[in-house]
Structure 1
């Protein structure tokens, strides 16, 4: 028996602790099963088959139409909403991230800023969308503002993690040779954070593409509203066209974003 095996068998066994945790998990699962209804609507299978039929026989004219009511234009609008919203969120998240970093500002100020970020992350995107629609009216601008605000919470949180892992030795050495604050930011902080910030922003953009397509359901622009209208009107060929275009666009963006993020992370 090796030394590692001896230490493994010599380690105390917390059977009572693990059995208690297992019992709690089993009780939670049992309670969840009793609270969730697994019954299918009588028309559910028919609707599912109609959606599959629409995917197999899409409306090609609607899919490749270049008008403002076509799938290509709606996807382009959704892409623009996600891109602009991500940029807005990424820019606004930077100062909040520095204010939330305990190694940059006093801990009370960092704690208050983190509390603000938690509050921002708590509200769902659809709720933000409904609020901005009341302010700006239905349209893509409400979608951009919604994506921007919802992006701040996640981006700032990941930015804070990167800021708190800064190599302070570089800054100390720059201080010792008489560098100014601007020079320390330009040559000491930005090179360490830029690639991480860009990688996080691209990852968030990938997520925002999915959120932007959903925000159309509440009138915040994009392809969500035409999708729900087509489903309500039982236009399954149009539903199939929209879903095909959306899936292809998201797959392309995900592949490109993964390649760019890998290059940024690996330098």
Structure 2
């Protein structure tokens, strides 16, 4: 028995040449990447500046954090939630017909191919670019952020919806068809019960993403946390930046906990 094991061990594939080549290539890539990193821009007092930033972020301005006026953190939190929520709703509604058009098991393949090309083009453009475009159209504010969130949501949500439609259990629909059910009854009792949990779970997951993206969009004036955050950082008011980040962290944690509970309930029933 032992001899057979030893013979099998001796006859094992010798991959040391392949592994050595992979290690050498990886090391060469690391060295080449490090050569592009320059630290010449660091100032002489960079350590002092870094310490001031850390100190300001960990000692937030409590007055600004608990300011319930339209310029305080709670109002910015509410505005960010509204932008992300309404943007997700708009994107989810638009994605439903696009998903049915892009599903190869429901429409001819050429039509589904065109639908997928359109979705691919939508997903290619970054949210930051959409934000700049809509700000030019509607002006800076929360409405531009809402439109941006809606368009950006369409690409991902439609892709997930399409996959859910293509994974439908066709036998349920065939059974309803054999029972003489009408088209509406097949949709009501055969298709929607299979799709609604996946659709709702996808929309909630996209809401989590939009909540983070809404902060980035604020940097270009699309409402929410972003603009006050960049203004505070440019003015070196690190205590205000710390207050905004503290509010953002609390908001993300609360929404993450709630959305996880809802998605678990939808998935497990």
State the alpha-carbon separation in 1 of the partners of residues 46 and 267 from structure 2: 45
Calculate the TM-score normalised by the size of structure 2: 0.90
- Structure 2 Cα separation of the partners of residues 17 and 92 of structure 1: 50
Q: 1:49 aligns with which of 39, 51, 56?
A: 51
Q: 1:159 to 1:232 in 2, by over 3 A?
A: same
2:158 to 148, 156, 159: 156
Counterparts of 1:48 and 1:177, CA distance in 2: 71
Note the residue ranges of structure 1 that are not aligned, 5 or more in a row: none
For residues 81-106 of structure 1, the C-alpha deviation after alignment (integer angstroms, 9 at most, x for no partner) is 01001111111111111111111111
Task: Call closer, same or farther: CA 1:37–1:107 in 2, change over 3 Å.
Answer: farther
Change (3 A) 1:36 1:76: same
Equivalent residue, structure 1, for 2:213: 211
Cα 1:52/1:169, change in 2 over 3 Å: same
The 2-side partners of 1:70 and 1:256 are apart by: 24
**1:201-220 deviation line (CA, Å, top 9, x unaligned):** 11111111110011110000
Equivalence for 2:88: 86
Deviation at 1:64, TM superposition (A): 0.7
1:39 CA drift (Å): 5.5
Q: Distance in 1 between matches of 2:218 and 2:100?
A: 33
Q: 1:30 to 1:93 in 2, by over 3 A?
A: farther
Matched ranges for 1:125-164 at <5 A: 125-164=127-166
Q: CA offsets per residue over residues 161-199 of structure 1, 9 Å max, x none?
A: 111110000011111111111111111111001011111
CA distance 1:159–1:66, change in 2 (3 Å)? same
Deviations 1:132-185 (A, max 9, x none): 000000000000010111111111111111111100000111111111111111
Cα distance in 1 for partners of 2:147, 2:208 equals: 17
The alignment's TM-score, normalised by the length of structure 1, stands at 0.91
Distance 2:115 2:23 in 1: 37
Bigger radius of gyration: 2
CA distance in 2 between counterparts of 1:105 and 1:248 reads 45
1:78-132 deviation line (CA, Å, top 9, x unaligned): 1110100111111111111111111111111111111111111111111000000
Q: Matched residue pairs, number?
A: 264
Q: Give the 3 Å change call, closer, same or farther, for CA 264–223 of structure 1 in structure 2.
A: same
